[in-house]
Structure 1
Amino acid sequence: MPRATEISDLVDPDDVPQPAVAVGLTVPTGTMDVGVHAHRKSELFLMVRGEMTCEASNALWVVPPQAALWIPGGTRHALKGRAPLEGCVVFVEPEVAAALPSECCAMAVSPLLRELLLRASELPVSYARDGAEARLVSVLLDELGAARASELRFAMPGDVRLRRLVAMMTGNPADRATRKEWARRVGVGERTLNRLVVQETGMSFGRWRQQLQVVLAVQWLERGASVQSVAMDLGYESASSFVTMFRKCLGMSPARYVAARGNVSGNVSGNVSGNVSG
């Protein structure tokens, strides 16, 4: 995906008459900031280097290296990232993706699916509808259909005060301020804060904040950070207390979770510039 200023120069993926089309994502410098938009086609982002955030369906996803995000067709979403970024995105016709999740979700990417995505991103946009290239895309779609969805997400509120609070919490994740102090910082009472969070996210303030910590923890762990450093960066007094929280939320230790996601590495061939917009 190019920088946001270049997007108007690209071909709309919805105009490409293929069941699926994949393109490389490369942002060597600067930032990526793609405002709220939607495609008729569904899309899967795979990050190889760097990290991207996506806000959609009243939730915020952090997409670190080794992770992928599924965005169903018609879903309004916004994307942000900071260079250097490398990865790829595949756009899929809705009828081809009918059996895939109907809402945004993180997706587990097998080594085979990863390699298929990267190889498909090297194909011309208008590849032949029969022959080796079409067969490769067909296998890619089979593997995508078998991919496992994850429930890992952070509920993003619409209330401007809560969105300001999210910015504060993500800006300093180690801040262990009390609920009363967080309420004061955004100019509401403690009871009002908890009521707003319940109304907007369906969970208590404590559970909501913990959800953000888990999302950030997974992001850092998959970048190679140690459990000890993640615990400290999140403001925990010890690694063991962080591990206890993580296991309670995700049902396994941080080490087991990262191992289960697999070890994805390597370079991405091709650049999206001049091909398809995100």
Structure 2
Amino acid sequence: MAMNPTDTMKPRSHFVFTPETDELTSPVHQHRKGQLILALHGAITCTVENALWMVPPQYAVWIPGGVKHSNQVTANAELCFLFIEPSAVTMPTTCCTLKISPLCRELILTLANRTTTQRAEPMTRRLIQVLFDELPQQPQQQLHLPVSSHPKIRTMVEMMAKEPVEWGSLGQWAGFFAMSERNLARLIVKETGLSFRQWRQQLQLIMALQGLVKGDTVQKVAHTLGYDSTTAFITMFKKGLGQTPGRYIAGLTTVSPQSAKPDPRQ
């Protein structure tokens, strides 16, 4: 999987289109250039030191140059990697998930479908500049889970992800760690900036998106996360992301008919 093009390349940007047929986890790595990963189909979860970033279809994750990270890609995913010189455009200084506009998406796909020689042509360079003008305007989305290197926080993330139904209350965790609920609540706020309830809900949103993107029904996702009713799950989802699960996923899978899939050989 070509994910780390030569950093000595002269162009200010470099595009790599990658189709994946199986689930894939990349080891921790970093790039000198900033990296934008656009999910065309499927989804990718990016792990950095203090957070997990969820990238559903038609969204992208921005990773500044020099930031160590690893990626987990769902089966049958199609991704477009854009590597950008730090001096080429002003982008966020920290990782973030971006909601990519149709214009930016079409620009990325068009440029990814052009050869290195074509990208040096004046017309293509103008398209690249339009993309660089638009990228800083893309809205950031709260599709990340703050974590930390604290062993208790890491344990909670791992166990809640594996068994979300079994670990639903702060009291359960306080008993598990043999500490008071008050002290554990303070630790969570200190390490993540969120209350236990907010933090757990953010994990549930990310897990819900992962399931829905794979094709799981709303009912199955609600059951997996331990909700007594589908209605309660839908309420939580809408509160967190502003739309019901059905409408949210429908929006992710709506693709412009004019879109041209990049040639993976380029």
If the TM-score is normalised by the length of the shorter chain, which range does it land in?
0.7 to 0.9
* Aligned equivalents of 1:21, 1:74: Cα separation in 2: 17
Deviation track 1:24-48 (CA, whole Å, cap 9, x = no partner) reads: 123334623231x332321210112
* Aligned equivalents of 1:230, 1:249: Cα separation in 2: 16
> Do structure 1's residue 173 and structure 2's residue 164 form an aligned pair?
yes
Q: 1:126 to 1:190 in 2, by over 3 A?
A: farther
Deviation track 1:245-268 (CA, whole Å, cap 9, x = no partner) reads: 233334444345445657248884
Q: Contact between 1:87 and 1:268, CA under 8 Å: does it hold in 2?
A: no
* TM-score between both structures, scaled by the size of structure 1: 0.80
Deviation track 1:152-195 (CA, whole Å, cap 9, x = no partner) reads: 3211121123212211111233335432323444x442434323
Q: Select which of 20, 25, 28 maps to 1:32.
A: 25
Q: Contact between 1:121 and 1:269, CA under 8 Å: does it hold in 2?
A: yes
Q: Contact between 2:43 and 2:213, CA under 8 Å: does it hold in 1?
A: no
> Do structure 1's residue 85 and structure 2's residue 100 form an aligned pair?
no
Which residue matches 1:75? 67
Q: 1:197 to 1:241 in 2, by over 3 A?
A: same
Q: Aligned to 1:15, what secondary structure does the other structure show?
A: coil
* Aligned equivalents of 1:109, 1:262: Cα separation in 2: 13
Q: 1:155 to 1:144 in 2, by over 3 A?
A: same
Q: Aligned to 2:79, what secondary structure does the other structure show?
A: strand
> Do structure 1's residue 189 and structure 2's residue 179 form an aligned pair?
yes
Query: How many residue pairs are counted as aligned between the two chains?
Result: 263
Q: Aligned to 2:58, what secondary structure does the other structure show?
A: coil
State the 1:218 CA deviation.
3.1
Q: Contact between 1:63 and 1:219, CA under 8 Å: does it hold in 2?
A: no
* TM-score between both structures, scaled by the size of structure 2: 0.83
* Aligned equivalents of 1:261, 1:27: Cα separation in 2: 19
> Do structure 1's residue 248 and structure 2's residue 242 form an aligned pair?
no
Highest RCO, 1 vs 2 (Cα 8 Å, sep ≥ 6): 1
* Aligned equivalents of 1:148, 1:126: Cα separation in 2: 32
Which residue matches 1:104? 95
Q: Contact between 1:43 and 1:91, CA under 8 Å: does it hold in 2?
A: yes
State the 1:126 CA deviation.
5.6
Q: Aligned to 2:16, what secondary structure does the other structure show?
A: strand
Which residue matches 2:262? 269
Q: 1:106 to 1:117 in 2, by over 3 A?
A: same
Which residue matches 2:40? 48
Equivalent position amino acid for 2:82 in 1: V
State the 1:19 CA deviation.
1.8
Q: Aligned to 1:53, what secondary structure does the other structure show?
A: strand
Q: Aligned to 2:45, what secondary structure does the other structure show?
A: strand
Deviation track 1:41-74 (CA, whole Å, cap 9, x = no partner) reads: 2121011233321122611112233321111223
Which consecutive residues of structure 2, in runs of 5 or more, have no partner in the other structure? Answer: none
Which residue matches 1:202? 193
Which residue matches 1:227? 218
Q: Contact between 2:62 and 2:96, CA under 8 Å: does it hold in 1?
A: yes
